[in-house]
A and B are shown apart, each in its own frame.
Chain A
Amino acid sequence: MANLDVILMVIAVVSCVIGLVLFGTYYLNRTLDRNAG
Chain B
Amino acid sequence: MHLIPQSWAHLHILVSVFPSVGLIFALGFYVTALISDSEALKRSCLVAFGVLGLLAIPTYFSGDGAMEALSANPKFSEDMVSAHYGWSMAALAVLAMTGIAAWIALGRFSRAKRVSDNALHLVLGLAIVTLGLMAVVGELGWEINHTELRLATQKTPQIWSHVHVILNHLPTVGFVFALVFYIAALVMNNVVMKRSSLVLFVICAILGVPTFVTGNASMWALTDPPVAGISKAVINAHRDFALYSLFALAFTGVTSWIALWRFRHLGRFSNRSLTVILLFAIVTLGVLAETGHRGGQINHPEIRVATDVLPTDPNAGLSPFVEHEINQVLWFVPWQTVHFFGFALIFGTALAVSLRVLGFWKSISFSAVHRILPLGVFGVVTNVFSGMLILQADSSRYLNEITFVPKVIFITIGAIAVLYFSVSEPLWNVKAGEDAPMSAKWVAALVLLSWTGVVIGGRLLPYV
Contact = CB atoms under 8 A, between A and B. Distances in A.
Interface of A: 3, 5-6, 9-10, 12-14, 17-18, 20-21, 24-25, 28-29, 31-32, 35-36
B108 interface: no
B373 to A, nearest CB: 9
Given A14-B341, A32-B265, A36-B266, A25 B374 contact: yes
Nearest to A10: B334
Interface string B346-381: 000000000000000000000000011011001100
Contacts of B329: 3, 6
B318 interface: no
B131 interface: no
Interface of B: 258, 261-262, 265-266, 270, 329-331, 333-335, 337-338, 341, 345, 371-372, 374-375, 378-379, 382
Given A9-B333, A10-B333, A29-B371, A17 B338 contact: yes
Contacts, number: 54
Contacts of B374: 24-25, 28-29
Nearest 8 pairs of A and B residues by beta carbon:
A13-B334, A21-B378, A25-B374, A10-B334, A9-B334, A17-B338, A25-B375, A28-B374
Chain B interface helix/strand/loop/mixed: helix
A20 B382 CA distance: 10
A10 B371 contact: no
A32 B338 contact: no
Contacts of B334: 6, 9-10, 12-14
A13 B338 CA distance: 7
Given A21-B382, A35-B262, 7 more contacts: A6-B330, A10-B337, A17-B382, A24-B378, A28-B258, A29-B371, A35-B266
Contacts of B371: 29, 32
Contacts of B262: 28, 31-32, 35
Contacts of B338: 13-14, 17
B330 A9 contact: yes
A32 B260 CA distance: 12
B375 to A, nearest CB: 5
Contacts of B261: 28
B290 to A, nearest CB: 28
A13 B337 contact: yes
B341 A18 contact: yes
Contacts of A10: 333-334, 337
24 contacts: A6-B334, A9-B330, A9-B331, A9-B333, A10-B334, A10-B337, A12-B334, A13-B337, A14-B337, A17-B338, A17-B341, A21-B345, A21-B378, A25-B372, A25-B374, A28-B262, A29-B374, A31-B262, A32-B262, A32-B265, A35-B262, A35-B266, A36-B265, A36-B266
Contacts of A28: 258, 261-262, 374
Contacts of A29: 371, 374
Contacts of B333: 6, 9-10
Contacts of A13: 334-335, 337-338
Contacts of A31: 262
A36 B371 CA distance: 13
A31 to B, nearest CB: 8
A12 B338 CA distance: 11
A17 B333 CA distance: 14
Nearest to A27: B374
Nearest to A9: B334
Nearest to B385: A17
B14 to A, nearest CB: 38
Contacts of B330: 5-6, 9
